[in-house]
Chain A
Amino acid sequence: MQEINITSGRMNPGVDPLLHAWGWEIPLYLFLGGVVAGILFFSAVYYLRGKANDYKAAVKIAPLFVPPLLALGLLALFLDLSHKLYFWRLYTTIRWESPMSWGAWTLLLIFPLSTAWAATFVKELYPQWDWKYEILNKLDDWLKKYRTQMAWALIFLAVILGMYTGILLSAFNARPFWNTSILGPLFLTSGLSTGTAVVLLISKNHEERKRFSKLDMALIGIELFLIIHLFMGFLASTEVHIHAAHMFLGGPYTAVFWSFVVGLGLLLPLFAEVLELKGYKIPVQIPAILVLVGGLILRFIIVDAGQSSRWLYKFIEQMYY
């Protein structure tokens, strides 16, 4: 029996008890980062595999969403900063030990590159399009010559971005629930899955939809596998990790996580996709939207739960303040 009693000004919503430094902005940013990584990854991969015309939605259309999505993500990140006017300090150093730092730099690289990538497809999609300025048109032509190189760079950066959204969290030793190497692959997989969902939503090509449905099913399968491993890993680990896992296995996050993330976000779309492949008429938008919503909720829950899991005063239910 332990009673913990904390006395001080920290027992207030600004500081404690849950010390939730991050609200909606960071999970949204992580989600958008994942979607962008997914879109760019498939766009680049299928471009390299010569499927630019077969999988038009994936290779050419989806990337058009990337710059606005990225901008939205960066906006969320910016909104989260509490000392906003100093944000430029991010770009006065590179700190390899800080995922926040290399994430910021990755974004700095990926933003222009993905914009350029998307831009090279604009004229193909909208033949009457004109870049207005000669220099831009010239640039467009010039860029098109380097699509292959760009694609390789994008695959590389997309994987980093996708992993980064997870590693950002897993680097925090202090939060037992984040402190697992599975978070990187899990977020990458989830990001790729949400990327396929975007393609499914915009694609009008049956072949492409079937391809991405299958891809999505595989990714969902991997995700489920990773989630199971996540909890098995926790349960085999230290007391605080077990405690962290219990937040999802009977604790406060159990209902939302298993019903919304696993049920609605993974199993249901999986089921729907299986049925569709078997020939049942199911609007493809349904699993796609479910996957997107599931991915978003996953970020929210993991960011939130991680902040609730802690080393010190870990038995927060028994705490008196």
Chain B
Amino acid sequence: MNVSEDALAQELVSIVGKEWVVTEREYMLSYLQDETPEPVRPKAASNLILVKPISTSEVSEILKTANQARVPVFPVGGRTGLVGACVPTEPGVILSLERMKRLEIDRDNLMVVAEAGATLGDLLRACDEAGLFFPPHPGDEGAQVGGLIATNAGGVRAVKYGVMRNYVKGAEVVLATGEVLNLGGKLIKDNAGYNLLHLVIGSEGTLCVITKATIRLHPKSEHSVTVVVPFNGRHEALQAVQKILLSGVVPLAIEYVEPDEINLSAAHLNEKWPVQAGRAQLLIILNAESEEELLVACEKLSAACSEIGAGEPVLAETREEQDKVLRIRSNIYTALKPQLVDILDVTVPPSNLGDLMDAVERIAAKHGVHLPVYGHAGDGNLHVHVMKEEGKASDYVAKVKKEIYEAGVRLGGVITGEHGVGAIRTQELTTATDEKELSLMRGIKRLFDPNNILNPGKVIT
């Protein structure tokens, strides 16, 4: 840092105004962490300044100042990430875009232009009011648009329409130098040169700061239903996923849950999970234009599941019932969190999910531990939970994680399908990725951010 903290704070005040610069640590505590489980969460550095700009030009001025002074900048969104990607791990500036939250729906083009600080909840409500639909649902509606894009968020509704990358059509970004770029636009097709937009999506704040985005929407489906199907065991449930997809039914989501975890989540919310049958269950969300169409799809998926001995499917139809089921599913992580060391999101080709589950079972047996699992079965994305033993993280944790990562890669997968690399998976990325590929990634980072001021220590080291 080529400037004193006081001088830097003064410069930031001159850009955004006094009330939007915070230097007292006690007033920035919630910006020093994300939702990463405490045992693996990186520690925030000292000597931090929190700044909250209102416009792209202010973001540009902040980055220009920081770049000249070689001060690290840590862009933060809703701080709902699980790999410490936004934790300010070096002295520097925390850049929160929470005041930039305007949303502009463009019904004619079925798109929304959203500022980075708008929350997922804001976005869903605005779309709903306009009769439109934004399918991804990474879980926490406090997540912000900038963060959703920077982390290429996935979530439970990716089977039919894909993850965040499939929706972002354009972005306004600010480079480390303060220069503003407009990538893509309200375009369905765009082959004009290398696609920098897709380089930025999922870059976890290490290449630039996303200030605004153009996001594709869908017309709102009039009808939806959430189906819960019980199975006798893990394998039957996972086999059913392929059978459902081959039947021609394309759900918004196919989620895998087990009774222990889902009942724990329900109890955590003071609710009751509606289906107690089976040792494993699939939670399937379908949408359609008519009730008839939905029921035909339900019958098809029921037939596919019954081929492998599934129990009777149960339907959540009203908005209240569907919200409740999704809420309980979304809170498994919250319910497990107090006893959690780390949540993994190894992702394999969907047809290899059964093999990954076998590998996890073998690893659990080998180390004599319980590894709760649930996940986005339709996406081949499994959340394995490494738990505390007698209230603390034991020696087995590192070995278990390494073996699960290796199993995932061996099955044609990646170490992370949606949570990203952040601060806590940099070593694993290095191990699991080809050296040439890593070298290209490092080159790209240097090209975008030669002074390494943007979210240093994250993704690529």
Q: Do A and B come from one complex?
A: no
Chain B interface (Cβ within 8 Å of chain A)? none
Chain A interface (Cβ within 8 Å of chain B)? none
